[in-house]
Structure 1
Amino acid sequence: MIDEGRLGSYLQDHYAGSSAGIELFRRAADQQTDPVARTALATMVERIEAEQTALERYLAAVGSKPDPVKNAGAWVAEKLGRFKPNGELIRRSPLSDVVELEALRVATEGKAAGWRVLRKLAEDEDRFEVAEFDELLKEADSQLDELERLRMAAALRVFRRPG
């Protein structure tokens, strides 16, 4: 038997994180200098939005819903994260491509950690589907692989000197 109150709070945290993550993915999809990265991130946004819908279902399953205060805090934190200059004051720094992709990897790792907890709970909880968490984990692994590929390409582009 699970503690619905604690799990509800945990899921609210992950939901707030997913809201901030979606904003970061959208911004990165709009601003990455590499068109391949922009396209890949735009595609990921759609999948992450679908994952957020799954979180809403699990929140409801434990008698909870997204917390507007936590969501607002996550939204503010994401917006404040935009104000780091990365070596440039007036225009976007090429370093921002690398830093954003690293932040997206960290966010995706956090999401996967949450899915792993829920997957384990699903083994003893009829309201949760083990197979759905297996799919969500598979998707997170795929996203992590893609983000790592994009991150390394950006890092090589930014840190290698021409010639």
Structure 2
Amino acid sequence: MNGSAGTADELLAIYLNDHLAGATGGRDLARRIARSQRGASGARELGRLAAEVAEDARALQDIMRRLGIPIRRYKMLLGWAGEKAGRLKSNGYVVRRSPLSSLLELEAMRLGVEGKASGWRTLRELADTDPRLDPDRIDTLLERARTQSETLQELRVRRAAEVFAG
């Protein structure tokens, strides 16, 4: 590896902090989706999903601590700000929520979960050679991401049908 590109540990620190930024934005998005859908179809699943996404972000921080990787708070702030900026989308409505908002948020959430799963897969590969990583814990996180993605896909399909049927 080229010395200017950083050591493997430095690159892993950047990689995991970037994933943590995404996890921070994803956590906030999941909470907002769950709040906006209270009483709607899928509300219970969204509440569970929001709790799991927050737990996954904490699990990533725990893994980073085990690896001795410092948590870059500014990246978490960027993830938080990115989620807030994502609310500023053109959706055909100025004052109130568009019916498209829920659909687009579910799609964004699913993309985030797929990205999270990729991060877990990378860590799972590293767990084969790094005793600081618990392969069973990472397998559990991977399975949960798979279930989350399936749930989001089901909710997305249902919401798309509701939005475009009328």
TM over 0.5: yes
Q: Runs (4+) of structure 1 moved beyond 3 Å? A: none
Gap change, CA 1:98 and 1:33, over 3 Å in 2: farther
**Which residue matches 2:61?**
56
C-alpha distance in structure 1 between counterparts of 2:80 and 2:55, whole Å: 19
Describe how 1:7-156 pairs up with structure 2 within 5 A: 7-32=12-37, 35-156=40-161
1:34 CA displacement: 6.2
1:85 CA displacement: 3.2
Gap change, CA 1:115 and 1:140, over 3 Å in 2: same
Q: Percent identity?
A: 38
C-alpha distance in structure 1 between counterparts of 2:128 and 2:17, whole Å: 21
Given that residues 33 and 97 in structure 1 are in contact (C-alpha distance below 8 angstroms), is that contact kept between their aligned partners in structure 2? no
Where in structure 2 are there 5+ consecutive unaligned residues?
A: 1-6
Q: Secondary structure at the match of 1:128?
A: coil
Worse overlay, 128-137 or 114-123:
128-137
C-alpha distance in structure 1 between counterparts of 2:41 and 2:48, whole Å: 11
RMSD of equivalent CA atoms:
1.5
CA offsets, 1:68-100, max 9 Å, x none?
111111111110111113111121100111100
C-alpha distance in structure 1 between counterparts of 2:44 and 2:16, whole Å: 29
Given that residues 117 and 142 in structure 2 are in contact (C-alpha distance below 8 angstroms), is that contact kept between their aligned partners in structure 1? yes
Where in structure 1 are there 5+ consecutive unaligned residues?
A: none
Worse overlay, 53-62 or 148-157:
53-62
C-alpha distance in structure 1 between counterparts of 2:164 and 2:137, whole Å: 40
C-alpha distance in structure 1 between counterparts of 2:86 and 2:132, whole Å: 37
Worse overlay, 148-157 or 131-140:
131-140
Given that residues 56 and 65 in structure 1 are in contact (C-alpha distance below 8 angstroms), is that contact kept between their aligned partners in structure 2? no
CA offsets, 1:47-72, max 9 Å, x none?
12221222112211222232111111
C-alpha distance in structure 1 between counterparts of 2:62 and 2:68, whole Å: 10
Worse overlay, 25-34 or 98-107:
25-34
